[in-house]
């Protein structure tokens, strides 16, 4: 079979583009995926107790983008779910992101009231402030508060998660979980949030159900596709490939690491099933200062599933070794982004190859951003030509 479109990777980036090619262009498309399943890091399955779990860590869907929500809603109904996170701090379970309720729960009332007023005066209500910004305040009392939050919420969590100090990372990393001058305890404030009613894998199956889509699992693309880096040509089954290639794996791997390896952070997951209805009060509890894991998530909270047992997942951050680990997180630091930039420039020489997604763009993207980018690339670069 000859394909005009070949997609590497069956995560959101690859699946959105394959779905668009098959359903709107009515063209045949081949997806090559090295794992034994579709869905990329969003893959979920029923464990041996019949509980729906996320193999590669907990995934909660949330977005501000109506077009992304409408697009993805073609392939799933939703379980209405709002994500709440507590942090275990000073022997208490308190709301994360750190907000006015957290302040009251961790500090004596008089002090909390005083600092609350100061925060509102200095920044006004319903404002989100990244912790590294709050630490720059001129106000002496707020400096002490910022230091407290930094020490209790961010410092040790970030050391565990990334193996470095918060200041060593791009400020956007800790800004994902800002200090929130509000009583809103939700982890995300996005207008659209929820969980695919029958799980992510089912959503992907529905996305990829068109007969125009062929999927080859357990196949590394390098077994089938050869690249002549001097001539900048792609060969598919030994013939020059003149169609469009959409690549969603690590960009440094595509170029055989010619400029050096891009660093990633990995994780190990520990799943535990408990003989009880529920293990914890909310979906996720963060442990900034205790244990080697960063957080525990209980799937039944996320999915609303009923079962006499419950399964939890603990996340243990790890160094990344390219030969045996999964590259879960690109590491947002200036030198890494500079290295990525070299690959991005090199990629521009390949006019019929499109690099999309968290790994191919080396960006700390959430699912909704990946879907948005993929729709954009499809519209601008694939459907138009
Ligand atoms: P991936 O899902 O990684 O897909 C890439 C695919 O390419 C993989 O299946 C891979 O096997 C395949 N591939 C790579 N190389 C090759 C090769 N050589 N040959 C063949 N196939 C190859 N986002 C949210 O919005 N909400 C969340 O709650 C959330 N939680 C997360 C929790 C964790 C622990 C992690 C790590 C991420 C989380 N994310 C979350 C982010 C989300 O996982 C990503 O945005 C999304 O999965 C990226 O999709 P992708 O298609 O770019 O990449
Ligand atoms: N973070 C933290 N303490 C927390 C939660 C988050 O220090 O209780 C920091 C940490 O550096 C983390 C980053 O904020 O890596 C982003 O957190 P998020 O929950 O968005 O991470 P993800 O879900 O992507 O792993």
- Are 148 and 155 within 8 A, CB to CB? no
Best CA proximity match to 297, nearest among 308, 281, 309, 276: 281
Asked whether residue 162 falls in the same domain as residue 223, the answer is no
154 lines ligand 2 (CB under 6 A): yes
Ligand 2, residues 94, 158, 267: which to mutate, most atoms within 8 A of Cβ? Answer: 158
8 lines ligand 2 (CB under 6 A): no
287 lines ligand 2 (CB under 6 A): no
How many domains would you assign to the chain? 2
CA 28 / ligand 2 centre spacing (Å): 40
Asked whether residue 163 falls in the same domain as residue 213, the answer is no
Q: What are phi and psi of 202, to 5 degrees?
A: -60, -40
Domain boundary among 180, 199, 229: 180
Asked whether residue 216 falls in the same domain as residue 358, the answer is yes
Asked whether residue 145 falls in the same domain as residue 221, the answer is no
354 lines ligand 2 (CB under 6 A): no
177 lines ligand 2 (CB under 6 A): yes
Over its length of 385 residues, how does the chain's per-residue pLDDT go in tens digits?
679 999 999 999 999 999 999 999 999 999 999 999 999 999 999 999 999 999 999 999 999 999 999 999 999 999 999 999 999 999 999 999 999 999 999 999 999 999 999 999 999 999 999 999 999 999 999 999 999 999 999 999 999 999 999 999 999 999 999 999 999 999 999 999 999 999 999 999 999 999 999 999 999 999 999 999 999 999 998 899 999 999 999 999 999 999 999 999 999 999 999 999 999 999 999 999 999 999 999 999 999 999 999 999 999 999 999 999 999 999 999 999 999 999 999 999 999 999 999 999 999 999 999 999 999 999 999 997 6
316, part of any domain:
no
Q: Which domain holds residue 98?
A: 85-180
Asked whether residue 99 falls in the same domain as residue 175, the answer is yes
Q: What is the pLDDT of residue 238?
A: 85
149, part of any domain:
yes
Rounded distance between C-alpha atoms, residue 71 and residue 59, angstroms: 18
Task: Indicate whether this model's pTM tops 0.85.
Answer: yes
Protein residue whose Cα sits closest to atom 47 of ligand 1: 41
62, part of any domain:
no
Protein residue whose Cα sits closest to atom 20 of ligand 2: 176
Locate 295 and state its tokens. Answer: 């957080």
313 lines ligand 1 (CB under 6 A): no
């Amino acid at each position: 079979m000859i394909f005009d479109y070949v997609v590497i990777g069956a995560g959101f980036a690859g699946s959105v583009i394959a779905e668009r090619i098959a359903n709107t262009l009515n063209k045949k498309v081949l997806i090559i995926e090295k794992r034994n399943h579709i869905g990329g890091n969003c893959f979920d399955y029923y464990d041996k107790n019949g509980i729906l779990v996320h193999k590669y860590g907990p995934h909660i869907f949330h977005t501000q983008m109506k077009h992304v929500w409408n697009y993805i809603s073609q392939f799933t109904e939703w379980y209405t779910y709002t994500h709440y996170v507590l942090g275990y701090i000073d022997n208490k379970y308190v709301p994360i992101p750190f907000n006015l309720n957290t302040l009251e729960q961790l500090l004596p009332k008089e002090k909390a009231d005083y600092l609350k007023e100061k925060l509102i005066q200095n920044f006004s209500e319903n404002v989100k402030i990244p912790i590294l910004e709050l630490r720059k305040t001129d106000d002496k009392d707020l400096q002490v508060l910022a230091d407290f939050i930094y020490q209790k919420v961010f410092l040790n969590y970030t050391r565990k998660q990334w193996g470095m100090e918060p200041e060593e990372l791009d400020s956007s990393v800790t800004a994902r979980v800002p200090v929130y001058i509000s009583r809103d305890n939700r982890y995300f404030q996005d207008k659209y949030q929820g969980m695919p009613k029958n799980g992510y894998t089912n959503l992907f199956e529905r996305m990829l159900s068109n007969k125009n889509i062929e999927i080859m699992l357990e196949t590394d693309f390098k077994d089938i596709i050869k690249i002549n880096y001097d001539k900048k040509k792609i060969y598919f089954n030994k013939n020059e490939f003149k169609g469009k290639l959409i690549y969603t794996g690590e960009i440094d791997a595509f170029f055989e690491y010619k400029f050096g390896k891009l660093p990633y952070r990995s994780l190990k997951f520990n799943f535990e099933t408990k003989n009880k209805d529920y293990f914890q009060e909310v979906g996720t509890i963060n442990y900034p200062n205790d244990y080697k894991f960063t957080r525990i998530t209980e799937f039944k909270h996320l999915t609303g599933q009923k079962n006499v047992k419950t399964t939890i997942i603990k996340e243990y951050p790890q160094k990344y070794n390219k030969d045996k680990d999964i590259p879960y997180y690109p590491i947002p630091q200036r030198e890494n982004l500079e290295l990525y930039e070299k690959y991005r420039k090199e990629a521009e020489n390949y006019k019929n190859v499109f690099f999309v997604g968290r790994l191919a763009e080396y960006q700390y993207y959430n699912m909704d951003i990946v879907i948005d980018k993929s729709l954009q690339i499809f519209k601008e670069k694939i459907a138009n030509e």
